[in-house]
């Protein structure tokens, strides 16, 4: 699948279980300027709920999410 959204940074959290994909994404977002887009790749099904909730609570924008054969991709725009 092609990249659906342009991004400034990419984090591959494949093979990591909850809560590590979210924790690593938070650390990566902390290093980015406001408005930057982080693409996260994860294989943990629980990450869907985690990223949706995190975006709402932290004020970030979940621009897009994809689920393809157990691989989850998220594009988060930093608040």
Positions annotated as catalytic residues are 18
Q: Which tokens hold the place of 36?
A: 């930057």
Antiparallel, parallel or unpaired: β 37-42 and 9-13? parallel
From 65, 74, 67, 63, select the one nearest 24 (Cα to Cα). Answer: 74
């Amino acid at each position: 699948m092609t990249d659906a959204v342009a991004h400034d940074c990419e984090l591959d959290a494949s093979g990591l279980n909850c809560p590590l994909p979210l924790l690593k994404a938070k650390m990566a977002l902390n290093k980015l300027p406001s408005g930057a887009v982080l693409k996260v790749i994860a294989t943990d099904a629980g990450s869907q709920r985690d990223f949706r909730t995190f975006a709402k609570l932290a004020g970030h924008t979940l621009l897009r999410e994809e689920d393809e054969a157990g691989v989850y991709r998220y594009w988060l725009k930093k608040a």
